[in-house]
Structure 1
Amino acid sequence: MSKSITTKELAQKIANHEKTMILDVRNTDEFDNWKVEGGNVEVINEPYFNLLDGVEPVADKLDKDQEIIVLCAKGGSSEMVADMMEEEGFTNVYSLEGGMKAWSEHLEPVKIADLNDGGALYQFVRLGKGCLSYFVESNGEAAIIDSNRMTDIYENFAKEKGVEIKHVLDTHLHADHISGGRKLADNAGATYYLPPKDATEVTFDYTPLEEGNDITVGNTTVKVQPLYSPGHTMGSTSFIIDDQYLLTGDILFVRSIGRPDLAGLADDWVGDLRETLYSRYKELSDDLIVLPAHYSFAEELGEGGQVSARLGDLYDQNSGLNVDDEEEFRKMVTENLPPQPNDYEDIRKTNMGKISPELERQKEMETGPNRCAVEG
């Protein structure tokens, strides 16, 4: 019987930039659409049906003594392939428990910093989907920003830290993943916040995020500033925490900028996107550390797996922030849009409260990469 590895163990290897060899035995079209990525990860794709008669198709590509992690969609096929490889003399083979389905749901907490007045800021990295969410804790209280669907992970983390979840915030109405915000707030008896301009069609009660109405978490102030940072959505909201950290939602990423088309309004919103990136953010301190809601490239994973960058450095290095001509910017944004996220319309409807899919359907809706950025 072959050995197995958990998604947490794989996540820590990637976060620590350990050399990692993966044999992905899913169909090639599934692999091409979405795979495990990281700064020091090498992946070979060989569909399972090519290995039914033996592992010869990969035997020459892999060292029999190196550590190899075999993965498939749900974990069953990878176990069989790992067993076959062991029989052929591969000595260090592991099957990824739960496959890509489990990988898609894994959240890895990374500490960003201790805060000035006590408490700390954490980034939860969803390596399988490129989603980033945030946990602010201070003096026995916590706020969670851009929560993923797997709310128990945040709840357990809060218990470990001995803090009570008081505030749950979404920077915007998400279209690439199902928000756990409302559920998390309901479970904890916390306040759920949403930008009102993104909430015109929601079917539930919420507390509007409004500029100037700062949110206090223990001894820490979360500045709702600038509230109006539209472009990805009409209500996209930025937060400044501890006067040091700028949470940009899906407006600005480390290597790219947000796409303005997920509500079908690219031509209308591209001007707002430019205004936010080229004017509103320009007025902020260059020393703010940008913490986005997503990342698209393995190279964006820094020390310990965190995704962050100094705002001033992004104005020097991020090509999306360096297009002087407004018409050229409009063209760059509207002509470099990647495919829409999987099931994005149903995800938006779910986040509005208009539909309530079964859990298995929710998992299926989230399959694939996030695709929230303009492609460079």
Structure 2
Amino acid sequence: MSNTKFGSPDIAPSEVAERRDDDDLFVLDVRNEDDYEEWAISGSHNLPIYDELLDGDFSSLEAALDEIPEDEEIAVVCVGGITSADAAGFLNERGYDARSMTDGMRGWGRVHQTYDVDERGVSQIVRPGTGCISYLVFDDGEALVVDPSQYVEQYGDMADERGLEIVGAVDTHAHADHVSGGREIADRFDVPYYLHEDDAGSLDEYTPLEDGETIPVGDRELDVLHTPGHTPGSTSFEFGDAILSGDTLFLRSVGRPDLEDGSEDAIREAADDLFDSLQRLADLPDDTVVLPGHFSDEEIRPLATTLERLATDNELFQLVEEDDEELFVETIVESLSDTPNNYQRIKHINWGDEPLDDDAEDLELGPNNCAAN
């Protein structure tokens, strides 16, 4: 055993995200196996030696050098970027080109990547570490932020880069998996914060959304469709030939209906509502572009498809197209997984029942569990 400490240069989590398809970058995760299996960077390699590294013991890393390619760059990942720095330094002294990922998986959870959706006046902001998606919808110098994360500077910077003025923040629903930045954006830019009243909880400083109304942005409008089921106030938005479906409809699943009330009767009632909402979306033109609020392991960027393709690719949406409500509800009830305990805390923060404190960032860390199956 050795208590030697090694230093190493850093690699930003954003660079790791940008190079996810780069065969010259090998991502080595040194966290314990349980942590890795729960939440990890796609395509990374796990060497579960975290506890040993904490004790300054590099013997298992030494023994595993054959698993680490000598002709690739190495990005070493741990929880917070400290233990990985020791591991990367150890590798560098043995001739490897290794860097420690800044802030570890905490840094990974903060990454935001932006993709323009053709020429529709929509930019999609993907958080690969959390599976969350937000949007900048814009026209004629104005922009609305839809489902913003708590890292509101991301949206201000993005608007500045595009020469846009933020004129409002919108949430498709009261989120359970991430802390909304909607109210902070409203305060910072002195603009409205829009949310359906059925999801407003204890909030009083917001502009309630109603089905059928519109939100202006530039010379265009965001059309409001109340699509309850995932939550009572879940809302989707039409913008031209695109639908921002929030957590109502994903590329391979739909939003789970049990986050408000986990009793079976309540789940079945919410699933019935969700079925009706999905039927409403299914009535839109087949070539409508679906822009969801979450993703799992889909590789396409931006995350987008058409309603016509979903009729083939999404099992639960197929049941809606087939008008099989009974099987739809039963499939959801039987396939729901447990929800993380922190989801309730996040909900109460977004409802205004609890203050936003220093724990808010850590509450979001981990895999996303908003899909029904």
Q: Which residue matches 1:280?
A: 280
How far is 1:321 from its partner? 1.5
Distance 1:240 1:58 in 2: 52
Distance 1:341 1:219 in 2: 42
Distance 1:342 1:309 in 2: 32
Counterpart amino acid of residue 249 in structure 1: G
Distance 1:238 1:143 in 2: 14
Distance 1:332 1:139 in 2: 44
SS in 2 for 1:69: strand
Which consecutive residues of structure 2, in runs of 5 or more, have no partner in the other structure? 1-6
Match of 2:314 among 314, 318, 332: 318
Q: Which residue matches 1:5?
A: 11
Distance 2:13 2:125 in 1: 14
How far is 1:309 from its partner? 0.8
Distance 1:45 1:330 in 2: 41
How far is 1:174 from its partner? 0.5
Q: Is contact 2:251–2:310 with CA below 8 Å preserved after alignment?
A: yes
CA deviations 1:69-88 (Å, max 9, x no partner) are: 10011111111000111222
CA deviations 1:24-80 (Å, max 9, x no partner) are: 11222221111112xxx2422323234523323421212122222100111111110
Structure-to-structure mapping, 1:152-191, within 5 angstroms? 152-191=153-192
Counterpart amino acid of residue 181 in structure 2: G
Answering whether residue 39 of structure 2 is matched by residue 34 of structure 1, we say yes
How far is 1:342 from its partner? 4.6
Answering whether residue 371 of structure 2 is matched by residue 370 of structure 1, we say no
Moved more, 177-186 or 24-33: 24-33
Counterpart amino acid of residue 111 in structure 1: D
Distance 1:9 1:53 in 2: 27
Q: Which residue matches 2:4?
A: none
Distance 2:306 2:194 in 1: 27
Q: What count of residue pairs does the alignment treat as equivalent?
A: 355
How far is 1:107 from its partner? 0.8
Q: Which residue matches 1:332?
A: 331
Counterpart amino acid of residue 344 in structure 1: Y
Q: Is contact 2:237–2:244 with CA below 8 Å preserved after alignment?
A: yes
Q: Which residue matches 2:150?
A: 149
Q: Which residue matches 1:202?
A: 202
Q: Which residue matches 1:248?
A: 245
How far is 1:93 from its partner? 1.4
Counterpart amino acid of residue 254 in structure 1: L
CA deviations 1:199-254 (Å, max 9, x no partner) are: 2x223221111122211111222111xx2211101111111112x11100001111
Taking structure 1 as the reference length, the TM-score comes to 0.90
Distance 2:242 2:155 in 1: 20
Structure-to-structure mapping, 1:1-376, within 5 angstroms? 1-14=7-20, 17-19=21-23, 20-37=25-42, 41-51=43-53, 52-54=57-59, 55-90=61-96, 92-115=97-120, 120-199=121-200, 201-224=201-224, 227-242=225-240, 244-264=241-261, 265-277=266-278, 279-297=279-297, 300-302=298-300, 305-323=301-319, 324=322, 325-359=324-358, 361-375=359-373
How far is 1:155 from its partner? 1.0
Distance 2:76 2:128 in 1: 17
Q: What is the root-mean-square deviation of aligned Cα atoms in Å?
A: 1.5
Distance 2:160 2:215 in 1: 22
Q: Is contact 1:177–1:370 with CA below 8 Å preserved after alignment?
A: no
Which consecutive residues of structure 1, in runs of 5 or more, have no partner in the other structure? none
Sequence identity percentage: 37
SS in 2 for 1:123: strand
Taking structure 2 as the reference length, the TM-score comes to 0.91
How far is 1:106 from its partner? 1.2
Quickly say closer, same or farther: Cα 1:327–1:211, change in 2 above 3 A.
closer
Moved more, 256-265 or 178-187: 256-265
